Amino acid sequence: MAACTTFVKLNASSSSWIGQQSFNQRACAFPSRSRVSVVRASSSGSYTDELVKTAKSIASPGRGILAIDESNATCGKRLASIGLDNTEVNRQAYRQLLLTTPGLGDYISGAILFEETLYQSTTDGKKFVDCLRDECIVPGIKVDKGLSPLPGSNNESWCQGLDGLASRSAEYYKQGARFAKWRTVVSIPCGPSALAVKEAAWGLARYAAISQDNGLVPIVEPEILLDGDHPIERTLEVAEQVWAEVFYYLAENNVVFEGILLKPSMVTSGAEHKEKASPETIAKYTLTMLRRRVPPAVPGIMFLSGGQSEVEATLNLNAMNQSPNPWHVSFSYARALQNSVLKTWQGRPENAEAAQMALLVRAKANSLAQLGKYSAEGESEEAKKGMFVKGYTY
Amino acid sequence: MSCYKGKYTDELIATANYIGTPGKGILAADESTGTIGKRLSSINVENVESNRRALRELLFTTPGALECLSGVILFEETLYQKSAAGKPFVDVLKEGGVIPGIKVDKGTVELPGTNGETTTQGLDGLAQRCQQYYTAGARFAKWRAVLKIGPNEPSQLAINENANGLARYAIICQQNGLVPIVEPEILVDGSHDIEKCADVTERVLAAVYKALNDHHVLLEGTLLKPNMVTPGSEAPKVAPEVIAEYTVRALQRTMPAAVPAVVFLSGGQSEEEATRNLNAMNRLKTKKPWSLTFSFGRALQQSTLKAWAGKEENIPKAQAAFLSRCKANSDATLGKYEGGASLGEGASESLHVKDYKY
């Protein structure tokens, strides 16, 4: 697919350009098919149409999300793993490598950024958000402020970030972001307690309503952590409970479902369970859960990889796309897209091109998986290595 | 366990799927004795058992009608009745490929402290009754919860109470082998516009599915019987295509894909209106991972009743009227209704009765 050929000439501020054009109207080869002629006014007021269009654009066939919203501390861990210091220059260099990969927009429809990255540019002075726009990739922004211990719970966490969220979201919109992401977690070994589930769901619902009110499509992410030795049936039970609560509170907060995306964990057994489930089993349990809990109005479900190896994450996604689903079922991967890239780059400029190729290889594999057409033949050993870290903190 | 899993799981899922077979739907013939009395008196027929039996026989033995139906909801009395030739109605239906169902609720009572809102009774002894009905041949059940739109209605209390009742009823049915039809009817009475109806319907359905999920109901083994999303009875009418868009959108926002079918109630719409609206929904090009079909009472029987007028010599005419409506609605489930189903007398007549009590 050629880069988009028809778009309005840039103004001095890319954000006012983006204000005039929604991603779906341009010659990106992913037109929406179903028209939404009757859209109720809700608390998201003037942004409703744009939210719906943006969500559809991200949920386009053969594409998914590249998650590169690691906080500075977490990005530091990635850089340290290849012997680099955690400086702004290095973070900028790494993100530039990823975001200037030619042809990335063939497989990637959205990129989640950390706040620092949203305001950065390439070494040539081109804004990262413009690099993305040129590839028909929607820029997104992590808006939560991380996890804290939840008092009165069983050692569980809650996610913070509602204070000032409205004005931050409005600023991010001005800078060019069009979707947001908020990650909360639920732990099966810790229960989960009803309190933790309720807090996770309510926080997500409030965040979602505020996001929509300020023009950002909220990605709703209650990650059910892989930690634990529980069987897959237990994960199904917990996932159903969590999503029932999430959707109920989203409805209570008058969130427009046609303008959200989900980022669930797949339904698998716990990392320490004696048996590992096959991709077909994971697909069956995950799709059962989605069919029981996700209203068809939601346009896209972008799975997190949560410690699976690159190949596992792709195989599982592929298994879920062997027959039509009422929503776009795709990926929003961080480690499962970046692992090989980092290892190839090693921080050396002479490796940059090869590293970009590695990203395209993973992105294309997941694109095929979204279409149900992936085969694991020819995958490298590195790509098959698991990335589960017990007690992983972001 | 995440939801009901027991000896009836496979059968519940198969039954629910069968009800949603394209080209078929449900005849709601479960009028209580009191209610059927109103119908009979409207055609000057005495409300005695033999007349009630005769009316139902007329419907069930209409040649060709059963092919348009996947289920019939019966009142308890009818479940145990036979045709004039001595064949149990349950067998007549089964032989015609139609699944017998049974109304199991015991009517509504007022909620104190509200402005005339109600809750539905019938949970006491429900498990045993379901077992008896299963033995008698029933394979699905129905329970009607009622809500209304007003300045302060439906109240959160009414929504919570009715949703909880539906969920309790549903899981008890599943444990005893009956597919529960979940019916949260929002009455059409009022002067509100279609936006208001959509808003209320979405809130109510969100609460209903939350309750079903909390009570571990197996969604794949249930059916939903909602109102269509329309303007109030005293507000200006809108086109079937508009009703279709609002209704399907409300379901997209609330009804998980695991539920195999929606069986709409007609709630006072005329026979022709109900059919046209259902048809428009099935023509709509949008995401619909469930079947959209009918569970009509008045909207299938009105012209039939008028044609019959209680007289034996009118039976062929009455059966022709009934077949015509069955075929029209069967076509509507496929989006193929072209209108002009031989309009029996009364087919365009509104069947709305203000503040309708069942």
Q: Chain B window 262-301: which residues touch A at a Cβ cutoff of 8 Å?
A: 285-289
Q: Is the pLDDT of residue A103 over 80?
A: yes
- Whether residue A384 lies inside any domain: the answer is no
| A177, A216 Cβ separation under 8 angstroms | yes
Candidates B31, B117, B153, B183; catalytic one: B183
Whether B252 and chain A come into contact, CB under 8 Å, resolves to: yes
Interatomic CA distance for residues A118 and A129, integer angstroms: 7
Interatomic CA distance for residues B75 and B107, integer angstroms: 12
Q: Give me the percent of chain A exceeding a pLDDT of 90.
A: 82
Candidates A142, A263, A310, A312; catalytic one: A263
Between residues A28 and B58, which one has the greater pLDDT?
B58
How wide is the angle at C-alpha B49 spanned by C-alphas B48 and B51, nearest 5°?
Answer: 70
SS3 (DSSP) at A77: helix
Whether A229 and chain B come into contact, CB under 8 Å, resolves to: no
Q: At A187, phi and psi to the nearest 5?
A: -115, 125
| Chain A residues lying within 8 Å of B256, measured CB to CB | 291-295
The per-residue pLDDT for A377 is 79
- Whether residue A383 lies inside any domain: the answer is no
The per-residue pLDDT for A14 is 36
* Inter-chain CB proximity B202 and A247 less than 8 Å: no
Smallest CA–CA distance, residue A213 to chain B, in Å, is: 19
Binned at pLDDT 50, 70 and 90, residue A30 comes out as very low
| B207, B167 Cβ separation under 8 angstroms | no
Interatomic CA distance for residues B173 and B178, integer angstroms: 5
Q: Catalogue the E-assigned strands of A40-153.
A: 64-68, 108-113, 138-142, 147-149
Cα distance from N-terminal residue to C-terminal residue, chain A: 35
Q: Which residues pair with B73 in a beta bridge?
A: B28, B101
| A266, A307 Cβ separation under 8 angstroms | no
Q: Could you report the per-residue pLDDT of A331-383, keeping only the tens digit for each?
A: 999 999 999 999 999 999 999 999 999 999 999 999 999 999 999 877 777 77
Based on DSSP, count helices (H) and strands (E) in chain B, helices before strands: 12, 10
SS3 (DSSP) at A386: coil
Interatomic CA distance for residues B91 and B101, integer angstroms: 13
Whether B246 and chain A come into contact, CB under 8 Å, resolves to: yes
Candidates B148, B225, B306, B327; catalytic one: B225
| B118, B108 Cβ separation under 8 angstroms | yes
- Whether residue A14 lies inside any domain: the answer is no
For the domain covering B8-334, report its CATH number.
Answer: 3.20.20.70
Mean pLDDT score across all residues of chain A: 89
The whole-number mean pLDDT for each consecutive block of 10 residues of chain B, a chain of 358 residues, reads 89 98 98 95 96 97 97 97 97 98 96 96 97 98 98 97 98 98 98 98 98 97 98 97 98 98 95 97 97 97 96 97 97 93 64 66
The per-residue pLDDT for A18 is 37
Angle between helices B49-60 and B315-333 (to 10 degrees): 50
Q: Which of A37, A241, A291 lies at the smallest CB-CB distance from B256?
A: A291
| Chain B residues lying within 8 Å of A295, measured CB to CB | 252-256
Residue of A nearest to B4 (CA): A237
The per-residue pLDDT for A45 is 65
Total beta-carbon pairs less than 8 A apart between chain A and chain B: 74
Catalytic site includes residue B225: yes
* Inter-chain CB proximity B249 and A297 less than 8 Å: yes
In this prediction, residues A47-69 reach a mean pLDDT of: 97
Number of compact structural domains in chain A: 1
Whether A43 and chain B come into contact, CB under 8 Å, resolves to: no
Smallest CA–CA distance, residue A303 to chain B, in Å, is: 19
CB within 8 A of B189, min separation 6: which ones? B148, B149, B232, B233, B234, B354, B355, B356
CB within 8 A of A191, min separation 6: which ones? A153, A154, A156
Listed residue (A286, A172, A186, A180) closest to A236, CA to CA? A286
Q: Which of B213, B214, B288 to mutate to test the interface with A (most CBs of A within 10 A)?
A: B213
Beta-carbon count within 10 A of B94 CB: 15
Q: How far is CA B119 from the centre of its chain?
A: 18
Listed residue (B271, B221, B276) closest to B244, CA to CA? B276
Q: Could you report the per-residue pLDDT of A148-175, keeping only the tens digit for each?
A: 999 999 999 999 999 999 999 999 999 9
Q: Could you report the per-residue pLDDT of B203-259, keeping only the tens digit for each?
A: 999 999 999 999 999 999 999 999 999 999 999 999 999 999 999 999 999 999 999
Q: Which of A233, A251, A258 lies at the smallest CB-CB distance from B206?
A: A251
The per-residue pLDDT for B1 is 66
- Whether residue A11 lies inside any domain: the answer is no
Interface confidence (ipTM) of the complex:
0.85
Beta pairing class for B291-296 and B25-29: parallel
Interatomic CA distance for residues B292 and B252, integer angstroms: 12
For A303, half-sphere exposure in the C-beta direction (CA atoms, 13 angstrom radius) is: 34
**DSSP label at residue A327:** S
Query: DSSP for B69-132?
Result: EEEEEE-HHHHT-B-TTS-BHHHHHHHTT-EEEEE----EEEPTTSSS-EEE---TTHHHHHHH
- Whether residue A66 lies inside any domain: the answer is yes
- Which CATH number is A220's domain given? 3.20.20.70
Q: Could you report the per-residue pLDDT of A216-228, keeping only the tens digit for each?
A: 999 999 999 999 9
The per-residue pLDDT for A390 is 75
Interatomic CA distance for residues A249 and B346, integer angstroms: 45
For A86, the domain range is 45-374
**DSSP label at residue A264:** P
| B314, B320 Cβ separation under 8 angstroms | no
Catalytic site includes residue B234: no
- Whether residue A9 lies inside any domain: the answer is no
Residue A208 tokens read as: 């979602």
Based on DSSP, count helices (H) and strands (E) in chain A, helices before strands: 14, 10
Listed residue (A98, A99, A108, A130) closest to A30, CA to CA? A108
Q: Is the pLDDT of residue A40 over 60?
A: no
- Whether residue A191 lies inside any domain: the answer is yes
Is residue A138 within a helix (H) or strand (E), and if so which, with residue range? strand A138-142
SS3 (DSSP) at B262: strand
The per-residue pLDDT for A8 is 36
Listed residue (A225, A218, A220, A280) closest to A245, CA to CA? A220
Interatomic CA distance for residues B100 and B138, integer angstroms: 5
Q: Which of A34, A247, A248 lies at the smallest CB-CB distance from B285?
A: A34
Residue of A nearest to B2 (CA): A237
Is the bond preceding A192 in cis, omega lying within 30 degrees of 0? yes
The per-residue pLDDT for A378 is 72
Interatomic CA distance for residues A194 and A200, integer angstroms: 10
Whether A194 and chain B come into contact, CB under 8 Å, resolves to: no
Q: Is the pLDDT of residue A195 over 60?
A: yes
Q: Is the pLDDT of residue A185 over 50?
A: yes
Residue of B nearest to A294 (CA): B256
- Whether residue A364 lies inside any domain: the answer is yes
Q: Could you report the per-residue pLDDT of A255-297, keeping only the tens digit for each?
A: 999 999 999 999 999 999 999 999 999 999 999 999 999 999 9
Q: How far is CA B239 from the centre of its chain?
A: 22
Q: Which of B213, B245, B287 lies at the smallest CB-CB distance from A326?
A: B287
**B30: buried, middle or exposed (CB in 10 Å: 19+, 13-18, 0-12)?**
buried
